[in-house]
Amino acid sequence: MTRRPLSRYALRIASPAAALGLWQLLTSLDIDLWLRFSQFPTVTDVAHAFANRVSGDDYWTDLTDSLTRILTGFLLAAVLGVATGVLVARSRLAEDLLGPLLEVVRPIPAIALVPVAILLFPSNEQGIVFITCTAAFFPVLVSTRHAVRALTPVWEEAVRTMGGGRLRILRSVVLPGALPGIFGGLSVGIGVSWICVISAEMISGQYGVGYRTWQDYTVLDYPGVFVGMVTIGVLGWITSTAVELLGRRLTRWLPRTSYVPGGRPRVPRPVTAPTRPDDDTEHQPEPEQQGQEHAEEARDEHLV
């Protein structure tokens, strides 16, 4: 019973551990085969740098600065993206008015808006939030728009025949019904937000993980650069997991199959003695096994 989740945890730990091992090996042996690892900091260098940073104040200031920026930008984007997406999907006037404008602005990489941000906003801080927000806005907008358009019409008709008006339909049908799609957009959005908040900090920030990483690079403190990268990675992972978990919690009503990411539907393996004559009895325990696996898979969903 407990074998499968444990083995999955083991696998999850094994792959980063192997990557770290390889990194340590290549850098400590100063391998120079076209790819040059001789200048590369080793894992232990980075770990030491990490330990130093964590014990200092700057690291935590950078961390909270970056988190404040991304959360502000992302939450703004979530609210604006969902609102605009619903508006464009539900109102032809809004679609005609906003559609072309949004489509022209959408392909512009948010980070290319740095000059705009500098011109528009009195402080760098607001500029960075603006860029982060713009980055997450479009994925949220687009997936909200799609999700709202794909809603089953009967739901809305049912509420209309109960005497529900536009607001009621919005509250009781459109928003809850579009939620699974909206969370798809939010997941993409939080990822894009990180990319943009870090880039924006590198270009124009004061404090922040991106700013610190770039500073380290300019003074050739390579272990420091890696500390920054690892920090970004971990923060990104945590925030997107949070979005994912929230999404799952809010869309618990979705009929879920016990889907294993990347896994094939598991057929109980034939018992490894096919030549044995009492074949019939071998198949006896199978339904039970299957039942157990289903139960486990349902629980495994919570591993992210």
Partner 1 sequence: MSTSSETVTASAAAAPQTLRGTRLAFRGTVLGRPDAPVLDGVDLEVAPGEILTVVGPSGCGKSTLLRTLAGLLPPLGGTVEADGSPLTGPSADRALVFQEDALLPWRTLRGNVELPLAIRGVPRAERRSRAESWLARVGLSEHAGQLPHRVSGGQRQRAQLARALADSPRAVLMDEPFGALDAQTRSGMQDLLVEVLRGTGATVVFVTHDVDEALFLGDRVALLGSGRVTAVRGVPRPRDRAALDDPARAALRRDILSSLGS
List residues binding partner 1 (CB under 8 A).
154-155, 157-164, 168, 172-173, 176-177, 179, 251, 253-255
Q: Collapse the DSSP code of 253 into the 3-class scheme (helix H, G, I; strand E, B; otherwise coil) and give the result.
A: coil
**Least distance to partner 1, CB of residue 171, Å:** 10
Nearer to partner 1, 4 or 160 (CB): 160
Nearest to 194 by CA among 249, 139, 151, 124: 139
**Least distance to partner 1, CB of residue 156, Å:** 10
**Least distance to partner 1, CB of residue 160, Å:** 4
Compute φ and ψ for 207, nearest 5 degrees. Answer: 65, 170
Nearer to partner 1, 271 or 295 (CB): 295
**Least distance to partner 1, CB of residue 206, Å:** 45
Nearer to partner 1, 95 or 156 (CB): 156
Helix boundaries (H) for the chain: 3-28, 43-55, 57-90, 92-105, 114-120, 124-149, 153-161, 166-169, 175-204, 209-218, 222-250, 279-282, 286-300
Nearer to partner 1, 256 or 276 (CB): 256
Nearer to partner 1, 142 or 173 (CB): 173
Structure-derived torsion over alpha carbons of residues 96, 98, 103, 105, reported in degrees to the nearest 10: 160
**Least distance to partner 1, CB of residue 195, Å:** 32
Place of tokens 């016990």: 258
Task: Report the distance separating Cα 95 and Cα 83, nearest Å.
Answer: 13
